[in-house]
Amino acid sequence: MPRKKIGIDARMFSNQFTGIGRYTFELTKRLFQNQDIDWVIFLNEPEYSEFSFPDHVKKVCVKSKHYSFSEQIKFLKILNHESCDLVHFTHFNLPLLYKKPFVVTIHDTTISYYPGKKMNVWWRKMAYNLVIKHAVKASRAIITVSHNTAKDVETLFAINPQKIQPIHIGVGKEFQKQPVAKRIKSAAPYLLYAGNWREHKNVVGLIESFALLRKKHPDLRLVITGKPDPHYPEVPETIARHKLQSVVDLAGLVSEDALMRLYQQAELFVFPTFYEGFGLPPLEAMALGTPVAASRIASVPEVCGEAAAYFNPDSNGDMAETMHQVLINPSLQKKLLEAGKEQIKKFSWDTCEKETWKIYKAHL
C-alpha cells in the first residue's frame, strides 16, 4: 500500500501558550512520531525558519495569514501543489476553492454570538460566515474542543451531529509540576484574570465586581494579564471610573514562567466569561494549586466540573459574592483545590492526539 500524505495547517504554530498555536504544537509533536505517514506542515514566518521537524516531515512556507486574500489564492495554490491525501485545518479559515479531503477543528463559535468591534464592517461579517459555513459543510469531519462547541456548531450550521467529534485539549505538563508549597504568598493579596479583553470575556464585569468586593476586602488587588486592546477602551475606563488605578495591575502579555508565578501566588483565579469554546486558564490555575471562581455558562462547567465556585456572569453582585465566599472560607478553598487535582487529570494532550489520529484514519 502506498504511503499516505497528511498536511497540517500550522500557520498559527507556536510553542508559547497561545490557544490555537499551542494546540497545533502539542498535536503535531505527537502525530509526527508516526513515521509511516508523509507529513507536510504548512507554516508562516518566523515559525518556518525557527522550528525543525523530523526527516519524514516536509516544511512548507506559506506566507499567507489567516483572514487574508492571500489565504484564498496563494495558500490554495500551495495546497494543490502538495496534493495531500488529507489536510487538517486547525482553524476554520481555509481556501474556499480547496476541493481535496480535509478535516477542520472549530475551537469556538464566539464570533457568531459575540462579533466584537473588529467585525463591525459588513464585508468582514460576510467573509466570516462564508468561510466557516464552507469549512463545516465541505469537511469530511469536524473536531471541536468541547461538547458545548459541538452543540453550537450543530445548531448554528444545521450539521449532522455524527460528523462532529468533540476532543478535549490538554493541560501542558509544565503547568502540572508540583506547585510551590501553596503558592509563595504574595505580600499584596490579589485576584488574577488571564486572557484577552474582548467583549465576551467580560473583563468590564470583573472590574465592576472587584469594585464591589473591595468594600469587604480593602487590601485586595486585581491583576489582569493580556495584551492591551485599543478596540476595548472600556477596560481602562472602568478602572478609572471606580478610581482603581492604584489597585488594578494591567500586566500586559507575560511570559509562561511569569504567568505560572502569577497563578501560584494569586488568592483566587477568576474566569468571568460570557462564552467560551473550551476555557483552559481555569485548568492551569487548578494545576498550580489556586482556587477558581468561574461563570456557570457555555463550556465552563464541562471543563471545570466540581472544581470551581460558580457565579452568574450577568450579575456583578453574584460574582462579587462568590469571590468573597471563596476568599473567607478555607474549607471551600481546600475542597476546590482537591477537586482541581482530579479535574486536570481528565485533559491530556496524548489522548487528544490519539482521538485525532482515529479521525484521520477514518478519512484516508
Report whether 8 contacts 330 (CB < 8 A).
no
What is the rounded distance in angstroms from the CA atom of residue 175 to the CA atom of residue 56? 30
User: Any residues with CB less than 8 A from the CB of 173 and at least 6 apart, and which?
Assistant: none
Q: Which amino acid is at 164?
A: I
User: Any residues with CB less than 8 A from the CB of 129 and at least 6 apart, and which?
Assistant: none
What is the rounded distance in angstroms from the CA atom of residue 334 to the CA atom of residue 161? 39
Judgement on whether residues 353 and 332 belong to the same structural domain of the protein: no
Q: How far is CA 329 from the centre of its chain?
A: 30
Partners of 61 in the β-ladder: 43
pLDDT along the chain (364 residues), means of 10: 92 80 94 97 95 96 87 96 98 96 96 78 82 96 97 96 97 69 64 93 97 97 91 94 96 88 94 96 94 97 98 98 98 97 95 98 95
Judgement on whether residues 151 and 216 belong to the same structural domain of the protein: no
What is the rounded distance in angstroms from the CA atom of residue 255 to the CA atom of residue 247? 22
Per-residue pLDDT at 185: 53
- Distances in Å between the alpha carbon of 313 and those of 268, 273, 302? 16, 7, 16
Q: On the CB side of 35, how many CA atoms lie within 13 Å of its CA?
A: 4
Per-residue pLDDT at 223: 97
Q: Is 248 helix (H, G, I), strand (E, B) or coil?
A: strand
Look up residue 238 and give its three cell numbers: 472602568
Judgement on whether residues 103 and 185 belong to the same structural domain of the protein: no
What sections of the chain are H helices per DSSP?
Answer: 20-31, 47-50, 69-82, 110-113, 122-138, 147-157, 203-213, 234-241, 256-265, 281-287, 300-304, 316-328, 330-343, 349-362
Judgement on whether residues 181 and 299 belong to the same structural domain of the protein: yes
Judgement on whether residues 18 and 148 belong to the same structural domain of the protein: yes
Report whether 197 contacts 226 (CB < 8 A).
yes
What is the rounded distance in angstroms from the CA atom of residue 270 to the CA atom of residue 285? 10
Length of the chain: 364
The pTM of this model reads 0.92
Judgement on whether residues 190 and 136 belong to the same structural domain of the protein: no
Judgement on whether residues 220 and 281 belong to the same structural domain of the protein: yes
Look up residue 117 and give its three cell numbers: 468591534
Q: Is 193 helix (H, G, I), strand (E, B) or coil?
A: strand
Judgement on whether residues 207 and 318 belong to the same structural domain of the protein: yes
Q: How many domains does the chain have?
A: 2
- Distances in Å between the alpha carbon of 164 and those of 106, 174, 364? 10, 30, 17
Partners of 221 in the β-ladder: 190
Q: How far is CA 218 from the centre of its chain?
A: 33
The whole domain housing 248 covers: 173-346
Q: Check which CATH number belongs to the domain holding 50 and give it.
A: 3.40.50.2000
Judgement on whether residues 119 and 233 belong to the same structural domain of the protein: no
What is the rounded distance in angstroms from the CA atom of residue 284 to the CA atom of residue 271? 12
Judgement on whether residues 148 and 201 belong to the same structural domain of the protein: no
Judgement on whether residues 234 and 101 belong to the same structural domain of the protein: no
Backbone angles phi, psi at 61, to 5 degrees: -85, 120
Q: Is 291 helix (H, G, I), strand (E, B) or coil?
A: coil
Look up residue 204 and give its three cell numbers: 468590564
Judgement on whether residues 196 and 330 belong to the same structural domain of the protein: yes
